[in-house]
Structure 1
Amino acid sequence: MTLLPQEIIRRKRDGGRLEAEHIHSFIEGMTSGRVSEGQAASFAMAVFFRGLSVQERVALTRAMTQSGEVLKWDLPGPVLDKHSTGGVGDTVSLALAPAVAACGGYVPMISGRGLGHTGGTLDKLDSIPGYVSQPDIETFRRVTREIGCAIIGQTADLAPADKRLYSIRDVTATVESIDLITASILSKKLAAGLQGLVMDVKFGSGAFMDNAADARALAESLVLVANGAGLPTSALLTDMNEPLASAAGNAVEVAYIADYLTGRRREKRFHDVNVELSAEMLVLGKLAHDITEARARIEDAIASGKAAEIFQRMVVTLGGPKDLLERPTHHLKAAPVIRAIHAERAGIVQKVATREVGVAVVALGGGRTRPQDPVDHAVGLTELAGIGAHVDGERPLAIVHAQSEDAAEAAARAVRASYIIGAGPARSGPLILERIGVAS
């Protein structure tokens, strides 16, 4: 039985179960324009509060996947990808894709814009002058085939229903829904024609799931639905109780990756997560016999400069500058106000309200409060202090990159309020808490 969009919303609002045809009808309406913005927002809110069964999640994922083109590949190696549920200073995708490509994988990575307090890979790519972050499908195919990886934004051809719902979730406080996260992530990945997927599911003060139990529930949902849809998938639960990297923003994170890939600076916390996720992809794609061999291959790809070479070739092929890695500050926009943020007293960082650090970047202009808002690629925070770091008059909590002194001061107040400073030692928790559905 066909239901009107408002009746589908009503049924879910009242706790009823939606049949697959109801969900497909609603998602088709989102794609065609038959479902209004308000109805899409109401559907998202109803799902947020009432939830979906596994069968409903699968139906929603499939409907969103089928709302556009589904890619098919004919490549000499496995087609693999990684997705992070989001955090602060999480720019792993820009390092991981070329590292996996250097080991024989093909990584057609379709990335999204920032959601809530988290940065989006697409916004970071847009800070690279000339880089075409949303090419046509044929260009996407060609770059993936020739270079080994292509990191782009979601195009109108792939899962268009998700693209619309994604922007609505960002501004309607429905980002954290496990059901909507699952369908959003997996619809794009299934549309990309993948043969293997690794999920980086974050937990902690800077993640959408602030505790490990909720993150585990999301990881299990993703692994269950993905494998049920025929996409081999595993997940890692990783810590986001502090920024993953010491940079948070758009251009500042691209500059961070340039330093990382070229070896000018490699922070252990970021590096370890990148290696573990990349290695998991190699095992999933049968490019390594076990995780130990996979780690060694990824370490070599990064240390030898092969990953950097592939990243640079990808940037050039998609229109960016040929010397971005060597001269990132020459090409990336810089904010006019750059100054240190010092703690009110010297001591050791005990805890970080990481979400609030991300919100501070959004307030600077580095994220959105409405889907149509522009993003200022130059602003952000660098040299962010991690848990256990000693801060004083010499070592700041962070360096702010802002468009004005007033904006810089507002960010400074927010960052100071996000840090708890104490006298005693402090240590971070486990960086990688658990693997779920690990490839073997």
Structure 2
Amino acid sequence: MSRTFDVVDLIRTKRDGGRLSQDQIQWLVGAYTDERVAEEQMSAMAMAILLRGMDREEIAQWTAAMIASGERMDFSGLTAADGSRRLTADKHSTGGVGDKITLPLAPLVASFGVPVPQLSGRGLGHTGGTLDKMEAIVGWRAHLSNDEMFAQLDSVGAVICAAGSGLAPADKKLYALRDVTGTVESIPLIASSIMSKKIAEGADALVLDVKTGTGAFMKSYDDAAELARTMVALGTDAGVNTTALITEMNTPLGLTAGNGVEVEESVEVLAGGGPADVVDLTAALAEEMLAGVGITGVDVREHLRNGKAMDSWRAMVAAQGGNPDAPLPQPKHTHTITAAVSGTVTRMDAYAVGVAAWRLGAGRGRKEDPVQAAAGIRMHAKPGDTITAGAPLLSLYTDDEARISRAEEALAGAIDVDASGGPVELPDLIHARITAADL
């Protein structure tokens, strides 16, 4: 683009509640990526966007400009035996505690013949990362070239891997800036960050799992719903069949939080077992992904029971150098927290459990920090379950015994037990479904 703008004028426009044009946004994002706009200037713009917001068209143009800063993936060459094009489906979660859903979900959807290009990330803070979990598997590698990814999708049908550096590089730069300028919470910037990568990834259908609750990034339902609507609009405007489920994250998902322990639980689900909430959410998201590419009326749980999803999992792991039969790493130290009283568990704070797992070594405080594959937490009871005084409530796993006391501190006051043993009314796992028709 030959035209240039005065960045200070653009900052003032947004600061004063005005809207930016398509040309202005394209120039600004491109100039920032090329380092022609200073960090302090984009910091001011990010704060102006946080305070003043953006309309649907502005967010769409901002997202398009971030996509244009890098490459776009193309899976249109994936064909079925009859020569027809195979439509691809993907899922994105906004992150939570015990959220291992991608692990059973990708092979489950692939077992129906739908390729799943699942570009995933690493954990930061109290939320776990899919790649960190998968790397608990001996030999498994996260980084694939585009050609390797395409070949695996063609042969196996599912890929879980890291996004390449060429995908929306403007987002990587802006994300780091938002992290240190107090602008992470801006819904237009969150939505464009997530969707620029997902749209550039090139899937035909996208399902968004937007968490709400203490363990989620969006604590309130209203904020989660606004983010979901914004992302569905972005996907729809970009020609991607996009839906969103708003799901519960006041309590951790499943009975494990960590890395290797979540892989173990995921394999249980793929073998036809596992905790009901993990199975239910995996099935709901699988149905959404399949519907997004035109497959309806199928029993997705049957492929968990009959081994077809497990076959896809084993093939996917092996294709990326992993050994699906290798034992998962075991912690050097285990510490058990027992129930102080008998009764019914009424509350287990997801955020506290996530922080405790992080402190045990399952997560990282900075992107460059290492994680422990064996670190994490196993929950022996959750809200709605009855427990006896002295019985195991949580097991803490770590390779560094000194971490246990800080994990226990994070869990102080995080779990309530009602000694009267009365019934507990549990919230719905799925709060709402949002589609383009709801915008």
- TM above 0.5, yes or no, is yes
Question: Given residue 171 of structure 2, which amino acid in structure 1 is its aligned partner?
Answer: D
For residue 64 of structure 1, the aligned residue among 43, 63, 66 is 66
Question: Given residue 132 of structure 1, which amino acid in structure 2 is its aligned partner?
Answer: R
The residue number in structure 1 matching 2:347 is 351
Cα drift, residue 142 of structure 1: 1.0
Are the counterparts in 2 of residues 197 and 231 from structure 1 also a CA contact under 8 Å?
yes
1:9/1:140 CA distance change after superposition, 3 Å: farther
The residue number in structure 1 matching 2:289 is 281
For residue 138 of structure 2, the aligned residue among 123, 129, 133 is 129
Residues 174-232 of structure 1: per-residue CA shift (max 9 Å, x gap) = 44432122112211111111111111111122222222222221111111121011111
1:153/1:274 CA distance change after superposition, 3 Å: same
1:434/1:383 CA distance change after superposition, 3 Å: same
RMSD: 2.4
2:392 alignment partner, SS class: coil
Cα drift, residue 70 of structure 1: 0.8
Are the counterparts in 2 of residues 116 and 171 from structure 1 also a CA contact under 8 Å?
no
Measured in 1, the distance between the counterparts of 2:135 and 2:74 equals 27
1:432/1:215 CA distance change after superposition, 3 Å: same
The residue number in structure 2 matching 1:318 is 320
Cα drift, residue 130 of structure 1: 2.3
1:244 alignment partner, SS class: coil
Are the counterparts in 2 of residues 105 and 287 from structure 1 also a CA contact under 8 Å?
no
Cα drift, residue 168 of structure 1: 4.8
2:194 alignment partner, SS class: helix
1:42/1:90 CA distance change after superposition, 3 Å: farther
Measured in 1, the distance between the counterparts of 2:404 and 2:163 equals 32
Are the counterparts in 1 of residues 124 and 366 from structure 2 also a CA contact under 8 Å?
no
Cα drift, residue 163 of structure 1: 3.0
For residue 233 of structure 2, the aligned residue among 224, 229, 247 is 224
For residue 416 of structure 1, the aligned residue among 412, 432, 437 is 412
Measured in 2, the distance between the counterparts of 1:203 and 1:395 equals 30
For residue 397 of structure 2, the aligned residue among 397, 401, 415 is 401
1:380 aligns with 2:376: yes
Are the counterparts in 1 of residues 96 and 252 from structure 2 also a CA contact under 8 Å?
yes
1:85 aligns with 2:94: yes
The residue number in structure 2 matching 1:149 is 158
Residues 29-64 of structure 1: per-residue CA shift (max 9 Å, x gap) = 454345566655555444333322212211121112
Cα drift, residue 18 of structure 1: 2.8
Measured in 1, the distance between the counterparts of 2:132 and 2:7 equals 32
For residue 334 of structure 2, the aligned residue among 331, 338, 343 is 338
The residue number in structure 2 matching 1:102 is 111
The residue number in structure 1 matching 2:149 is 140
Question: Given residue 119 of structure 1, which amino acid in structure 2 is its aligned partner?
Answer: G
Measured in 2, the distance between the counterparts of 1:336 and 1:403 equals 5
For residue 434 of structure 2, the aligned residue among 425, 432, 436 is 436
TM-score of the two chains, using structure 1 as the length reference: 0.89
What are the residue-to-residue correspondences of 1:226-375 with 2, within 5 Å?
226-263=235-272, 265-288=273-296, 293-294=297-298, 296=299, 298-323=300-325, 327=326, 330=327, 332-375=328-371
Cα drift, residue 98 of structure 1: 0.6
The residue number in structure 2 matching 1:25 is 27
1:42/1:408 CA distance change after superposition, 3 Å: farther
Are the counterparts in 2 of residues 61 and 187 from structure 1 also a CA contact under 8 Å?
yes
1:386/1:11 CA distance change after superposition, 3 Å: farther
Measured in 1, the distance between the counterparts of 2:303 and 2:89 equals 17
The residue number in structure 1 matching 2:57 is 55
Question: Given residue 322 of structure 2, which amino acid in structure 1 is its aligned partner?
Answer: G
1:83 alignment partner, SS class: strand
Cα drift, residue 7 of structure 1: 5.8
Residues 78-118 of structure 1: per-residue CA shift (max 9 Å, x gap) = 11111111111111111111111111211111112224421
Question: Given residue 61 of structure 1, which amino acid in structure 2 is its aligned partner?
Answer: T
2:412 alignment partner, SS class: helix
1:154/1:218 CA distance change after superposition, 3 Å: same
1:397 alignment partner, SS class: strand
1:246/1:52 CA distance change after superposition, 3 Å: same
Measured in 2, the distance between the counterparts of 1:245 and 1:357 equals 12
Are the counterparts in 2 of residues 154 and 163 from structure 1 also a CA contact under 8 Å?
no
Measured in 2, the distance between the counterparts of 1:165 and 1:250 equals 28
Cα drift, residue 413 of structure 1: 2.6
Are the counterparts in 1 of residues 334 and 397 from structure 2 also a CA contact under 8 Å?
yes
**Further displaced range: 170-179 or 105-114:** 170-179
1:199 alignment partner, SS class: strand
1:47 alignment partner, SS class: helix
Measured in 2, the distance between the counterparts of 1:43 and 1:128 equals 42
Measured in 1, the distance between the counterparts of 2:51 and 2:409 equals 34
Measured in 2, the distance between the counterparts of 1:359 and 1:226 equals 32
2:161 alignment partner, SS class: strand
Measured in 2, the distance between the counterparts of 1:44 and 1:342 equals 46
Task: Please say which structure displays the higher CA radius of gyration.
Answer: 2
Are the counterparts in 2 of residues 88 and 358 from structure 1 also a CA contact under 8 Å?
yes
> Tell me, which stretches of 5 or more residues in structure 1 are unaligned?
none
Cα drift, residue 249 of structure 1: 1.2
Measured in 2, the distance between the counterparts of 1:4 and 1:397 equals 60
- Aligned-residue sequence identity (percent) comes to 40
1:40/1:240 CA distance change after superposition, 3 Å: same
